[in-house]
Amino acid sequence: MENDYRAALDYLYSLTNYEVKLATQYAGQLFDLSRMSRLLDAMEHPERRFHSVHVAGTKGKGSTAAMIASVLQHAGQRTGLFSSPHLHTFRERIQVDGQPITEREFVAHLRKLRPLFDTLDGLTTFEATQAIAFDYFIAQGADWAVVETGLGGRLDTTNLIRPEVAVITPVSYDHMLVLGDTLTAIAEEKAGIIKPRTPVVSAPQPEEALNVISHVAEHLQAPLAVVGREWGYHLERADWDGQHFTAYGPGVTLSGLFIPLLGEHQLVNATAALATLQVLRQGPLPGGAAGGALPIREEAIREGLRSVRWPARLEILSREPLLVVDGAHNGESMQRLVEALTAYFPRRRRVALFAALADKDVPRMFQALLPNVDTVIFSRTAHPRAADPAALARQAGPAAVSAIVEPDFDHALDVALGLAGRDGVVVATGSLSTAAAGREAWARRMQLEPLPSDPI
């Protein structure tokens, strides 16, 4: 079966893959919904056989989607989750009730769909994976699917679903070569998931982005709820295990909630998830789910949030020594990370193990990170778009921070832990692949059970 799974991955990766070689224009000739539309039509529209929530944004998509999916699951709804990228195995992108698709099921669904795939010139890895996910959701009897966009929103192939709610998480600068170099342009792409008369939930946004989202929602007569306006939250207490908080919105207050995720940004994500779930609880839904409102009891909300798992987001791998991994990959998310380090680990020596992808806005990340660490070690991961660590060091320039270049990631982690000592903190960051590499290197170092992986 391993050989079959390897062959399946090889086939997927042989397709047009913008994660490996990113397109430089977000244009119709590159991102074309018509091909995916033809594929879904040939599959007899699996996306119309489950209810869905659509999630777009720059930061927090995965965490928000995972929280929504976890609550739906605890409410007794069989729930699919489609997300990207993955940490350790491609199978993480396709989950039902929190469990990734198995290798056997992955191979079976690819074999079933490949005759259709082979009729479509220019099919992308993302499109094929989306089709496998939707086919798997149907086979697994999913009632709901929480679907995260891959890139942007307006021309993202997930935008062919008919969601009950559209969710837009914080919008900031990312993929600027593709989506545009202004917040207005980026927000226009994200707001492309808004459908006529379909409720929208937005996280707090910069004014420039919120103006776009509000305008599109008003034009499409889509009711809009915004965290920080209609919805809010209050932190009760936090420690290294998670955060206790209260969330409130129109006609509802939920106190004593808990999420095992750190950082104030996760409270924003949780509140956006709760606002989304409240839309489903109130009904009537555009798609007519359950004949109207969806029965989600308060206990399902509490337990769904409490049990959510979304690793590599301000994740503490070890307390002695103190090792944290975080997938921050742009300036805003890096700033949130720095704020969280200050809140949770004050007055500790900070050593950053930094690796990034070559097409990311590294200067903005450096602007947030470098003034707030004592030492930075530049390394690289196995990702095809990984930036050269020596080039990263040159970009950093004469920053007021000690800098080391160590291309071998496992050795870089050893160096970082040695420099941090017993009283310091090591944070591996710069991309999701960096956080994944940190988790894998730590598991090897401590001879822990190997993390799930794909055959090489």
**CA distances for 455 relative to 2, 90, 93, 445, angstroms:** 7, 10, 16, 21
- Please name the amino acid found at residue 261: L
| Domain end marker among 306, 335, 365 | 306
pLDDT of residue 338: 96
CB distance 209 to 182 below 8 Å? no
**CATH code of residue 351:** 3.90.190.20
- Residue after which a domain boundary falls, among 306, 324, 358: 306
Which pTM was predicted? 0.93
Q: Which pLDDT score is estimated for 1?
A: 62
Reported as a single tens digit per residue, the pLDDT across 75-126 is: 999 999 999 999 999 999 999 999 999 999 999 999 999 999 999 999 999 9
368 is in which domain, residue-wise? 315-445
Cβ atoms of 47 and 133 within 8 Å: the answer is no
Residue 178 — pLDDT band, cuts 50, 70, 90?
very low
Q: How confident is the model at residue 415 (pLDDT cuts 50, 70, 90)?
A: very high
- pLDDT at 396 exceeding the cut of 60: yes
CATH of the domain at 286: 3.40.1190.10
What does the pLDDT read at residue 287?
47
Q: pLDDT class for 285, splitting at 50, 70, 90?
A: low
Count structural domains, the chain.
2
String of DSSP letters for 141-168 = T-SEEEEE-SS-STT-GGGGS--SEEEE
Q: Are residues 265 and 334 in the same domain?
A: no
Asked if residue 404 and residue 285 are part of one domain, the reply reads: no
In this model, does residue 21 exceed pLDDT 60? no
70 assigned to some structural domain:
yes
Q: Say yes or no: 377 and 408 in one domain.
A: yes
456 pLDDT band, cuts 50/70/90, is confident
* Whether residue 218 sits in one domain with residue 145: yes
The per-residue pLDDT for 320 is 93
Answer yes or no: do 297 and 334 share one domain.
no
Mean per-residue pLDDT, 256-265: 96
- Mean pLDDT of all residues in the chain? 92
Are 339 and 259 contained in the same domain?
no
